Amino acid sequence: MNPLNKSIVQTELDRFLNREVYLHLETTNGAYAVHRQESNMTVGAYIRNGLIRFGRGIITGAGPYRVGLKMEIGWVYAEGLTDYEIDPEGRLLLAGHDQEGRLAVALELSLSPFEL
C-alpha cells in the first residue's frame, strides 16, 4: 500500500458510483487489547461482501482521511484512513494503520465478491 493520495482515491470512488459493489468494511483494536492493557476495551466490527450501491462517494480530511458513501437509504462511513492501493484485480483498498503499522480500519470496494 502507499500513503493515501486523495485525488487518485476520489477518481477511484467515482468508478464505483451507481453500480452493484461488494464492500469490506472493518475496524478493530485487536483481539489482545484488553489482554495488553486492562483499561482498554476490545472492540471490532467487520462486514465482508456487503452488497451496496452508492450515488455519491467522497474522500475528505487532511490525513488521516475520511470516506462517506451515500446510498439511497443509508451511509457507509470510515475514518482514520492513511494508505491506499488499487490491487491487480482492480479493487480499491483503503486502510488506516497505526504508528506500528497495524491495521485499525479498512474500507474496500470490489465489483466481484472478496474471497472468503
Partner 1 sequence: MEEHVLVVFPHPDDETFGCGGTIAQFTKSRVPVTYVCGTLGQMGRNMGRPLFANRESLPIVREAELETACQALGIQRLIQLGLRDKTIEFEDPELLTDRLEQIILEVKPSLVLTHYPGYAVHPDHNALGEVTIRAVSRLSPQERPTVYVHAFARDCQDQLGKPDIINDISDVAEIKLAAIRAHRSQSQVILPRLSNGQFKNPSSKNSYNHMLTRESFWIYRFS
Pick the stretch among 10-18, 55-63, 70-78, 89-97 that binds partner 1 (CB under 8 A). 89-97
Cα(27)–Cα(110) distance, integer angstroms? 18
The radius of gyration computed from the CA coordinates of the chain, to the nearest angstrom, equals: 14
Cβ atoms of 44 and 25 closer than 8 Å:
no
| Residue nearer to partner 1 on the CB measure, 44 or 61 | 44
| Residues at the interface with partner 1 (CB under 8 A) | 1, 24, 26, 28, 30-32, 35, 38, 44, 46, 83, 85, 87, 91, 93, 95, 97, 100-104, 106, 108, 114-116
